[in-house]
Every structure is written in C-alpha cells, then in structure tokens.
Amino acid sequence: MEFHHASVLLRETIEGLKIKPEGIYVDGTLGGGGHSLEIVKRLGETGRLVGIDQDETAVRAAGERLSAFDIGGKITIVRDNFRNTKEILKGLGIKGIDGMLLDLGVSSYQLDTKERGFSYRFDAPLDMRMDERQRLTAREIVNGYDERELFRVIRDYGEDKFAKNIAKHIALAREKKQIETTGELNEIIKAAIPARMREKGGHPSKRTFQAIRIECNRELEVLREALEDVTDLLNPGGRFCIITFHSLEDRIVKTAFKEAANPCICPPEFPVCVCGRKSKGKVITGKPVLPGEEELLANPRAGSAKLRIFEKGNIN
C-alpha cells in the first residue's frame, strides 16, 4: 500500500513558519513529506531541513518524495521520535533552528493500513504502534493492564463517559480468552455502551481506540517533553507550529505556549515581578487556526485540527 496522507492546514502552517531561504527547519512528524515538500521548495542553497519520523514506511516514502529537492545534502531524514529532537540536532552539529512543525496524531496511511490495528473499521491484530520497533502493543495494554488502569486510560485519554463500564467489560471478557483483534475489542465496547447511546457521537469504539493508541505510543508524554526542548532550540524569531487533533493535545500546547510567553509565577497581587523568570517569546495565535470549508469538504478528517504558533523572542 502506497503511503498517502493529506497534509492538514498545509497553507496555514507554511505561512505560519515564515520560512527564510537560509533557515534551518525541522519537521518532527515527517509522515509522507507533504509539509516538508513545501518547506524545501522555499529553501535556498544554504537552507536545511531535518525530517523526523518513527514510522519506517513514512521515512521511506518521504525520502522518495523529497529526493529531487535534496540538492547539496540540504535534507536529512532520521527515523526517530521527535521527543529526541535535541539529541538528533546535536548529533548533526545544529545548535539552533528557525522553525519546527509537529502534525500530531495518527496518519491517514496508518489508519487505512488494516494490519497496523489502528482502526475500528477493520478486524486486525491489536497493534497500534507508530514505531514497530517498540515492544508495547495495544494487545498488551488491553490484556495486561488491570481494570483500574484501563479505566484511567479510557477516561483520561478517550474522555469517554462510559470508561468504567468499558474497562469492566474488557476485564470480564479476557477472563474467558485473550482479546486478540480490533474486531473482538469492538464487540466488547459495543456491549458496554447502552444501545440508545450508540447512535450518538460517532462510532462507539472511537474514544477507546484513541485512548489505547495514545497510551501505547506515550503521545502526551512525548509532546510534553518536546515542547520545552524545542522552544529552547529556536533562534530569535523562529517559529514553532503545532497541529493537534483532540482537546488533550491542544490543552497541553496552549498551556505550554502561554507559560513560555509569560512564565512569571509571582502572586497576582504583586505590583512587579520578583521571580525573575523571563519570557521566551510570544504566542502568535490567540485562538487556534482551524481548517476552512474547502479543506473540510476535501478531507473530513481535518475537522478536529487546530494549529497554534509560538515565536521565539530575543532573550538577553
């Protein structure tokens, strides 16, 4: 299956990066290379792009797509997790960057590749690993976490009001036999949700599958780790663009950007700041940038996308 992924908020993100021809840019979620392609088109002879992705298929597909633009070795593609951006750049001898992009969540290719086990639309082995080198799979989570831990994962990462009942049904089902496939998990989730509620809010398994995927890939933990590192790596005027797809991610990004812009921890009644914490820059997007009607018609999966942008300031 060919790697295909529609790059969400493509124009808005590229504009948000304010690309300089001589700049150094990082695409931390390379995917099929859609965003990266537009970045390298705008780079001059001394410009550079570093693309990072943990999915082997994505790395291979992006490498082929970008190869025609890799003049003078300006493109470097690394199979890794963007949480390691600081170490990756250090290894490449790069001390500062002029912009970084993160397009979070799961790609269309991953969702549509049946055997990867990301989607509730297919019956496939429970996997959900973005990096197939890692040991933890969705199967291990579903069969190995105790009921209380499953409840926490589904409640916190899926924000499903039936989390407790879903966790209970999973625990009961696996007492009889191990849960091996997405189809089996689908049926268990369906039985845990009252029939009258299954008609509302999309597929009954949507939130639970999201929660297990986030837990399997440590997505929120990775995001939190990367946010501070990348902000520190930016050169003055450098931009950090992040596209999120659900409220948990967006909340983390919004909070981190706000704290980077205004890190003061002094009590509000203090007339002046005495904590000495200095702003790292400014938030460009007061409200997140959302997809327009034309993009939503062409790609319904873009419906929950939100783009937030931070700009590094001159820190003395």
* Single pTM value for the model: 0.92
Which CATH number is 178's domain given? Answer: 1.10.150.170
Task: Please check whether residues 60 and 138 belong to one and the same domain.
Answer: no
**pLDDT on residue 5:** 57
Task: Please check whether residues 75 and 142 belong to one and the same domain.
Answer: no
Task: Please check whether residues 128 and 88 belong to one and the same domain.
Answer: no
**Angle at 226 (CA atoms; ends 225, 227), nearest 5 degrees:** 100
**pLDDT on residue 110:** 85
Task: Please check whether residues 78 and 202 belong to one and the same domain.
Answer: no
CA distance 307 to 231: 16
Residues composing the chain: 316
Q: Is residue 3 part of a domain?
A: no
**pLDDT on residue 111:** 84
Q: Is residue 297 part of a domain?
A: yes
Task: Please check whether residues 232 and 300 belong to one and the same domain.
Answer: yes
Boundary of a domain, candidates 217, 239, 261: 217
Structural domains counted in the chain: 2
**pLDDT on residue 300:** 86
Q: Is residue 75 part of a domain?
A: yes
Task: Please check whether residues 120 and 213 belong to one and the same domain.
Answer: yes
- Look at residues 201, 210, 223, 197 and name the one whose alpha carbon lies nearest to residue 158: 210
Q: Is residue 284 part of a domain?
A: yes
Task: Please check whether residues 278 and 289 belong to one and the same domain.
Answer: yes
Boundary of a domain, candidates 166, 196, 217: 217
Q: Is residue 1 part of a domain?
A: no
**pLDDT on residue 154:** 98
CB atoms within 10 A of CB 191: 14
Q: Which domain holds residue 100?
A: 10-109+219-312
Token representation of residue 101 = 């992009």
Return left, alpha or beta for 31; rule: phi > 0 is left, psi -120 to 50 is alpha, else beta.
left
Token representation of residue 70 = 């890799």
SS3 202: coil
**pLDDT on residue 199:** 67
pLDDT means per 10 residues, the chain with 316 residues, are: 70 97 97 94 96 94 94 95 97 97 88 90 95 97 98 96 97 98 96 81 88 97 94 97 95 96 91 91 96 92 94 84
Which CATH number is 42's domain given? Answer: 3.40.50.150
Would you state the torsion angle of the CA atoms of residues 185, 189, 192, 198, taken in this order, to the nearest 10 degrees?
-150
Q: Is residue 2 part of a domain?
A: no
**pLDDT on residue 301:** 82
Token representation of residue 117 = 């086990």
Buried b (16+ CB within 10 A) or exposed e, 34-53: bbbbbbbeebeeebbbbbbb
Token representation of residue 115 = 């055997």
Task: Please check whether residues 35 and 67 belong to one and the same domain.
Answer: yes
Residue with tokens 């002046």: 272
Token representation of residue 291 = 């997809």
Q: Is residue 256 part of a domain?
A: yes
Task: Please check whether residues 96 and 144 belong to one and the same domain.
Answer: no
Boundary of a domain, candidates 177, 198, 217: 217
CA distance 57 to 110: 10
Task: Please check whether residues 231 and 187 belong to one and the same domain.
Answer: no
